Homo-oligomer: A and B are copies of this chain.
Amino acid sequence: RLKQTCKKVCFCGQFSQIKMVSNQNAIRLINTTYADQVVNIGEITLGEETRNRMKNTQGRESERRQIINAACALLNSGGGLILMLPKNDNYTLSDGLGLDIELGLRELVRPQTIQDNFTYLQVDVYTIIFVKSWSADLISSGGVKARISSIDCQAYKRCGTSTLKIAPNEFYHFFNQKKLMVGRAQGLSPKRMRINNSQDKMLKVVKNFCNQKNIKISEAVEFGESEYTEFKSFEGRNLQTRLGENLVKYISAFGNTNGGFFITGIDDKTKKVVGCGKGIDPEFFKILMENTFKKLITIHFDNCSSQRSVEYNLHIINVIDDLETRHGYVMALEVKKHCCVIFSKNPESFKIEGGCVLGVWVCLCESCGGLAPCPGLVPALCPVLAGIGPIQKQQYTKHTTFLNISFCVVKSEGIESIPAPLCSRLFEKFERFDDNLKPNGEQGVLIFSKSWAVDIEMEKNDNVICDALLFCTNSFPVLYTVVEKATEELLEYSRQTAYQIKQKLVNVGGYSDWICVIPKLFELPSRTVISSETNCPGFKLKNQYPEDYRIFDVKAILRSLVLVMLSFKSPLSDQLGCEFLNLLTIEQFEILNSKCNIEDFSSMFVHGLPGTGKTVIAEMLIRRIQRTFHCRPEEVLYICENQPLRDYMR
């Protein structure tokens, strides 16, 4: 029933290794009028009072888990909607969702608050949770917030004499520190590593203890619980179950910290030997250990050269009394410090992939701190993501005017139509119509494109005259798809385009505020606006967003949009099995942008020194041509000396 795939994904310069667990029972996304990801949970009991009165606690927990899993998946996948049909007819939002659900949501987004990432609305008969993407809020967090929200990391650490589960919001910090240590430890000799252990003396006492064959019952041991030692005494009955549960936890804790001894059969209060597993064959412990370590889930960082499995020593000491009668054993498991990370179970997190809410086994494998290591990066654009200082801001603004999306276009009054050259050509053919699209009294920008779909790597629809994106403060973002005659198919095409734009703004552009794009058709001859709200082919549902989605800062959206426009998937991506986010240089973009009317020219020469990016431009142009003219690979004649490139393009 379970299918596992493994791949690497680069998310805003942040690498993650993801093992996808696809379950046939996975919740599927549904199609609605929303240009957004919509998870339908179905019927559910809502409201603090009503949920408290539920007798079926298992059913309540299963409802809660569905919502939390969906919320986690949407947080990790660009945001979206959770559709719920309250079982109780007279439910209103003022009854609350239920404290158990709220607590689950709270844990997902700590240290943020619930209202930072979730907002609610009742639309038709549904109660909807709107989820904002758990994207890197780079400005406030300096880029160190984990890019992936998780429900349970299933990893432990030692902190003094305690064993702590690593909280989801501490996981990224923990991972980063571990990785840093792997890097530091790489060049060191084993001698150097050993000496650093300041508890050497104490550990010698423990080791001597472990190497005994027999020990007297009720004898007190000479060492106590510490970072490196944990005592547990188990009753005879459920030894195997309880030992098994505790083992993975303490192996993870000791292995993830500085190593140590997990010792059963000693009372932790009195430090006296009590013994455990009386009458059991000592082989039992050996087999249990072998099975436990075989099943252990560990990951190695990419900078880890050892890639060893977890090392351990098992000591079984006979517990005897003065008459040499046996009273079970003291089992001492020494777990060596592991180079990377040990989990007690599969970490729990969710993601949307292939239209499903899927469980993912997540580990951030490399943190590159912003976009720095991507080879084709425009230096002036780095600060976009990195919290711009005053000097860089200036430089950045200067460099982005080439896109015609300079920030000065957001005037204090009125709405500017851009990009200007395309507009003038459009308004030559068709009588000026941009004023029809501009709402009165707002300020912002209306950005025209020959086809926004092609710009963001979708197939071009020939019935589309042009697209216009409207960003005004205090309004919802709108995509106007300008057509001759509105059809349901075009409406759906516009919705898909709007959805892609929204996803790219969040996932590629790093936009971190609430964002939606509402698709609308603009019939040019009749000059009428048709919205999908009035005419929906899929799931019946009004298209309504909470007020939070109104644009707060147009410039912030434009910054993200610039990144979306300049980014492209590198050929390297497929070779490495991960997505490399590259950015075009300004010169490259200018060449491409000047050829936005692909239909109008038949040949083009690009010349430049080796390594300046001619191939990238060629690739981008070919992709554009493919998308614009709907070419099948065999319909394109490539004349190319570079055979691997030709094969790649095909």
Most B CB contacts (10 A, CB to CB) among A49, A142, A170 go to A142
How many monomers of this protein are in the complex?
2
Could you say which of B96, B202, B222, B387 contacts A226, with CB atoms under 8 Å apart? B96
List the one stretch of A12-20, A70-78, A521-529, A543-551 in contact with chain B.
A543-551
How many of A's residues come within 8 Å of B, CB to CB? 65
Q: Which residues on the B side are within 8 Å of A114 (C-beta)?
A: 159-160, 227
A373 nearest CB neighbor, chain B only: B389
Interface presence of A88 (CB below 8 A)? no
A192 at the interface (CB under 8 A from B): yes
Q: Please report the C-alpha to C-alpha distance between residue A139 and residue B341 in the assembled complex, in whole angstroms.
A: 20
Partner of A161, one of B96, B167, B170, B177: B96
Within 8 Å CB of A192, what residues of B?
473-474
Task: Report whether A184 and B552 are in contact in the complex, using a CB–CB cutoff of 8 Å.
Answer: yes
When C-beta atoms are compared, the residue in chain B nearest to A197 turns out to be B547
- Assembly CA distance A161 to B258 (angstroms): 41
A553 to B161, CA, bound (A): 28
Which residue from B96, B174, B180, B387 sits with its C-beta under 8 Å from A111?
B174
Which residues from B are CB-within-8-Å of A550?
A: 195-196
User: What string of 1s and 0s marks CB contacts (under 8 Å) between A45-60 and chain B?
Assistant: 0001100000000000
Interface residues of A in 549-565 (CB under 8 A from B): 550, 552-553
Bound CA–CA A140/B94 (angstroms): 43
Taken residue by residue from 189 to 205, chain A's Cβ proximity to chain B (1 for < 8 Å, 0 otherwise) reads as 00010011110101000
Contact of A119 among B106, B157, B198 (CB under 8 A): B198
Contacts of A94 in B (CB 8 A): 202, 222-224, 226
Q: Of B159, B173, B222, B223, which one neighbours A115 at CB under 8 angstroms?
A: B159
- Residues 132-166 (chain A) with a chain B CB within 8 angstroms: 139-144, 157-162, 164
Question: Is the CB of A42 closer than 8 A to any CB of chain B?
Answer: no
CB-defined interface of A369-390 with B at 8 Å, one 1/0 digit per residue?
Answer: 1001000000000000001010
B140 and A141 within 8 A (CB): no
CA of A170 to CA of B170, assembled, Å:
11
Given contacts A142-B144, A144-B142, whether A111 and B198 have CB atoms under 8 Å apart is no
Q: Quick one: CB contact mask for A210-224 with B, threshold 8 Å, 1 for yes? A: 000000000000111
Residues in B with CB closer than 8 Å to A3 are none
Say whether B198 contacts A113, CB under 8 Å.
Answer: no
Find out whether the CB atom of A198 lies under 8 angstroms from the CB atom of B139: no
Please tell me if A225 contacts chain B, counting CB pairs below 8 Å: yes
B198 touches A546 (CB 8 A): yes
Chain A 562-573: CB-based contact to B (< 8 A → 1; otherwise 0): 000000000000
Query: Contact: B202 with A142, CB < 8 Å?
Result: no
Q: Within 8 Å of chain B (Cβ to Cβ): is A507?
A: no
- A95 at the binding interface (Cβ < 8 Å): yes
> Which residue on chain B has the smallest CB distance to residue A101?
B160
Q: In the bound complex, what is the Cα–Cα distance between A225 and B160 (angstroms)?
A: 40
- Cβ of A607 < 8 Å from any Cβ of B? no
* A547 near B200: Cβ-Cβ < 8 Å: yes
A102 contact from B102, B139, B144, B162, Cβ within 8 A: B162
Beyond A48-B161, A94-B202, A198-B546, 19 extra complex contacts between A and B, CB < 8 Å: A93-B202, A94-B226, A96-B226, A106-B159, A106-B162, A113-B257, A114-B227, A115-B160, A115-B227, A141-B142, A141-B144, A141-B176, A142-B143, A144-B144, A195-B547, A196-B548, A197-B547, A200-B547, A372-B389
Interchain Cβ contacts under 8 Å between A and B, 30 examples = A93-B226, A96-B224, A96-B225, A102-B160, A105-B160, A106-B159, A111-B167, A111-B173, A111-B174, A114-B160, A114-B227, A115-B159, A115-B160, A115-B258, A119-B198, A140-B177, A140-B180, A141-B144, A141-B173, A141-B176, A142-B142, A144-B144, A192-B473, A195-B547, A195-B550, A196-B548, A196-B552, A198-B546, A198-B548, A369-B387
